[in-house]
A and B are shown apart, each in its own frame.
Chain A
Amino acid sequence: MADATFTHTTPRRIWPADAAGPRPRKRFSQRNIIIYSLLAVLALYYLLPLYVMMVTSLKGMPEIALGNIFAPPTEITFEPWVKAWSTVCTGLNCDGLSRGFWNSVKITVPSVFFSIAIASVNGYALSLWRFKGANVFFTILIIGAFIPYQVMIYPMVILLREIGIYGDLSGLVLVHTIFGMPILTLLFRNYFSSVPEELFKAARVDGAGFWAIYFRIMLPMALPILVVAVILQTTAIWNDFLFGVIFSRPTNYPMTVQLNNIVNSVQGVKEYNVNMAATLLSALVPLTIYLISGKLFVRGIAAGAVKG
């Protein structure tokens, strides 16, 4: 079970103040019964949608029309999944959600790479080189993280149109790189600030320059935070809808946009099983990342929490 794997792989009870609440004595005290039944009811609210998505996606349409959404499928069929992936239509294209999936991959991979490359250099320059005026830019960047995207979208459209990459994948990658910068820069700046100053000074005395220290010393040391950054960015960019719908053209639409177009299309008969299979398909990537990364995901949002 997922529970068990998490318990074994994570270091528990780091300091005694852990779980400071009143302690249970007996296994089946009245208090414990209340706690566990409350947890169970709440867990139901969180698990219900996932369960319903799964069972719906495995049923045929007649069964959905007659039966109950909570009932497990009497006859399991994978047809909705196949259709959602390879033949369902959006507009004129009938090659399924696979198109959106590959678009999302093509958007996410370079966006994650460039945003982390730039932000890690930013964080490194800000924490260890501290040139004059650097903090002014950093402050603007952090304040910028709170500005609603709607305020900056239109000038961005004009800029991309002027450069000639409006609607291209490269334009969308640029947008993700720019708007991911505040949080990631903060993440790397805080990490590199904790690097012992002596290490940096020793490398300087040995004659290493800006890039040598970055590539040879800092980047290898930053592996844990790099992983956190990759998790954070991959999930955020994969789940993005707003930038996808504004900065890409229909042939380049990421999975979220295509999914919404499929499910909320007004034409044709609604195929709920295909819709739910499609929804699950596009949730699969972030869910996999979440389940594999465990505590690192939490670290990512804790870092995001500082920024907003």
Chain B
Amino acid sequence: MAHTVRPSRLLKNLNAKIAAVPMMLTAVVVFFGFTLWTVIFSFTNSRMLPRSEWVGFEQYERLWSTRRWLVSIENLAIYGFLMLVLSLVLGFLLAALLDQRIRFEDGFRTIFLYPYAVSFIVTGLVWQWLLDPEYGLQKAVRSLGFTSFTLDPLYDPNLVIYGVLIAGLWHGSGLVMCLMLAGLRGIDEDVWKASRVDGIPAWKTYLFIVIPMMRPVLVTTLVLVTAGIIKLYDLIIAQTGGGPGIASEVPAKFVFDAMFVSQNLAQGFAASTMMLVAVIFVIIPWAYLEFGGKKNG
């Protein structure tokens, strides 16, 4: 390796070190320092301005007894679980369909992926319009003669998160399809030949041979989709604004409102620290699976 050839003294490669100063500052000050700062200040009683009066876990106790936070967590759990399962299923289905040597493959792929190019704001607004009970899909189907047809999730506190889910799936499943397709194309043709010779039906080959072989792609996709789910914010703002009432609140919105609207900084810090903890729970097992094995072997 090159770095063993070149002796590394402080003045060696000085230009390279100077050039990397912005990266060092970003890594140390922003990603490490800022995160630490927020975690530390979540143990204070800061309200309008950050204060350094230590209150222990008081903010966390308050957070977990706040109804709005509990609703946020519940929503994120429902949305997250369904989004993970459905986007993986839908993405895989699309990828498998595109992988059948079909015509217009690029055209179909363009159609399935374009929502990923537009913002969550656009996504939220157009689905708000489509799901509008007075003008949208409900009215269109009713005008066909199905007068009792109901599709009005956005104004029903029990259903609103599923309305958001429809929009989230529309936006994100193309990405999953793309990753899955790359995974499918990486599978050796011989696997298919062998299973055909043995007379195994295609669906069984997918389920018991191909999908297990795609484990690395599946893990990456899982981590990516999860990271996106935890950040869920813009879509809610555009589509429901957290309503009706607080029925579609999510943690990222809770943090924003605590910090910038209700000036309850420490609650925002505590809530964002909880988000960080959630991410750590996802990342550590993944990092262990991905990199842990290699170091030992």
Chain A interface (Cβ < 8 Å from any Cβ of B): 1-3, 6-7, 10, 16-24, 35-36, 38-39, 42-43, 45-50, 52-53, 56, 64-65, 68-70, 118, 121-122, 124-126, 128-132, 134, 137-138, 140-141, 143-144, 146-156, 158, 178, 181, 185, 197, 209-211, 235, 238-242, 246, 256, 259-260, 263-264, 272, 275-276, 279, 282-283, 286-287, 289-291, 294, 297-298, 301-302, 305-306, 308
Q: Are A148 and B252 in contact (CB under 8 A)?
A: yes
Distance to closest chain A CB from B116 (angstroms) = 7
Contact status B120-A17, CB under 8 Å: no
Please state if B189 and A17 are interface contacts (CB–CB under 8 Å).
yes
Min CB distance, B254 to chain A, in Å? 9
Shortest CB–CB separation between residue A86 and chain B, in angstroms? Answer: 20
B122 to chain A, nearest CB (A): 5
Contact residues in A for B170 (Cβ distance below 8 Å): 45-46, 49
Q: Are A147 and B276 closer than 8 Å at their CB atoms?
A: yes
Is residue B52 contacting chain A, with contact meaning CB distance below 8 A? no
**Docked complex Cα distance between A291 and B113 (Å):** 10
Residue interface bits B181-218, CB-to-A below 8 A is 1, else 0: 01011111101100010000010000000000000000
Bound: A121/B20 CA distance, A:
7
> B230 — which chain A residues lie within 8 A by C-beta?
148
A240 to B276, CA, bound (A): 21
Give 15 A-B pairs besides A21-B101, A68-B139 with Cβ atoms closer than 8 angstroms.
Answer: A19-B101, A21-B99, A46-B170, A49-B123, A69-B137, A124-B19, A126-B20, A144-B32, A147-B279, A151-B34, A153-B272, A154-B265, A155-B33, A242-B234, A272-B129
In the assembled complex, the Cα of A19 lies from the Cα of B285 at a distance in Å of 32
Listed A/B pairs (15) with beta-carbon separation below 8 Å: A2-B110, A20-B99, A20-B187, A128-B2, A130-B2, A131-B20, A144-B35, A150-B268, A210-B16, A256-B121, A272-B129, A283-B118, A301-B178, A302-B178, A302-B182
CB neighbours (8 Å) of B294 from chain A are none
When distances are taken between beta carbons in the complex, the residues of chain A under 8 Å from B269 are: 154
Q: How far is the CA of A154 from the CA of B46 in the complex (A)?
A: 12
Evaluate contact between A155 and B34: CB separation under 8 angstroms: yes
Q: Which residues of B contact A (CB under 8 A)?
A: 1-3, 6, 8, 12-13, 15-17, 19-20, 22-24, 26-28, 30-35, 37-39, 50, 93-94, 96-97, 99-102, 104, 106-108, 110-123, 125-130, 135-137, 139-140, 143, 170, 174-175, 178-179, 182, 184-189, 191-192, 196, 202, 220-221, 223-224, 227, 230-231, 233-234, 237-238, 241, 252, 255-256, 259-260, 265, 268-269, 271-273, 275-276, 279, 283
B residues in contact with A53, CB < 8 Å: 126, 129
> Given the complex of chains A and B, what is the CA–CA distance between A278 and B39 in angstroms?
40
Q: How far is the CA of A36 from the CA of B103 in the complex (A)?
A: 9
- Alpha-carbon distance between A98 and B175 when the two chains are bound, in angstroms: 30
Q: Which of chain B's residues have a CB closer than 8 A to the CB of A306?
A: 220
Specify which of B24, B128, B237 is in contact with A241 (CB 8 Å cutoff).
B237
Given contacts A153-B259, A308-B227, are A259 and B129 in contact (CB under 8 A)? no
Q: With A48-B130, A49-B126, A283-B122 in contact, do A148 and B276 touch (Cβ < 8 Å)?
A: yes
Smallest CB gap from A241: residue in B: B234
**Is B17 a contact of A131 with CB atoms below 8 Å?**
yes
Secondary structure call for the B interface: helix
Q: Is the beta-carbon distance between B34 and A152 smaller than 8 angstroms?
A: yes
Q: Least Cβ distance of B197 to chain A in Å?
A: 12
* Contacting pair B28 A134 (CB below 8 A): no
A141 in complex: contacting residue of B23, B186, B259, CB < 8 Å: B23
Instruction: Look across to chain A and name the residue whose beta carbon is closest to the beta carbon of B46.
Output: A154
Whether A152 pairs with B30 at a CB distance below 8 angstroms is: yes
Report A286 CB to chain B, min CB distance, Å.
5
Q: B256 to chain A: which residues have CB within 8 Å?
A: 150, 242, 246
A35 and B31 contacting across the interface, CB-CB below 8 Å: no
